[in-house]
Amino acid sequence: MTTQKKLFVEDLETAGKRVIVRVDFNVPLKDGKVESDKRLRESLPTIKYLRDKGAKVILMSHLGRPDGKRVADMSLRPVANALAALLKTPVAFAEDCIGPLAEQAVAAMKPGEVLLLENLRFHAEEEENSPPSPSNWRLSPTSTSTTPLAARTARTRRPKASPSSSPRRHRVT
């Protein structure tokens, strides 16, 4: 049995690089507004850390169960607005999570900026847990990554006690 050393986001050189973070932004919405921002607040340490290190932070999440179809009430756009308010900085929003719209949004990013991709579950492959097709592996033709979009994620460990101001380690899985 081999044991691998755990890799943390702090162990990576992220300055100027695109970092894709799978977040849990499956939050309750009412009248186009986020009702509870708890899950957004839980992601802030990772997002802020990456921004401070000069990464281009690309966030991806699902919301609800739209059965692989576009459902306006399940768009992540209101989540981008709520996240921008919490971060006190603009959060760009891509109208899709793959294809030309996502590629253009990523290409326009500068170091330290944050982009939220549209609901992953607007695509049937996410609902079915199907592996992505090779054509969707890259965000742009100039990408140096050859791994599927969801393969590189960073998660923040949840504190057992109330959150403190002490820094937390962010594990990459």
C-alpha angle 89/121/173, rounded to 5°? 70
Taking the domains of the chain in order of start, what are their residue ranges?
Answer: 9-172
Share of the chain above pLDDT 70, in %: 71
Tens digit of pLDDT for each residue in 38-54?
Answer: 999 999 999 999 999 99
**CATH class of the structural domain 9-172:** alpha beta
> 50 Cβ partners below 8 Å, 6+ apart?
9, 14, 19, 21, 57, 154
Whether the model clears a pTM of 0.85, i.e. scores above it, the answer is no
| pLDDT tens for each residue of 65-109 | 877 778 888 899 999 999 999 999 999 999 999 899 999 999 999
| 22-33 pLDDT, tens digit each | 999 999 999 999
In angstroms, the first-to-last Cα distance of the chain is: 19
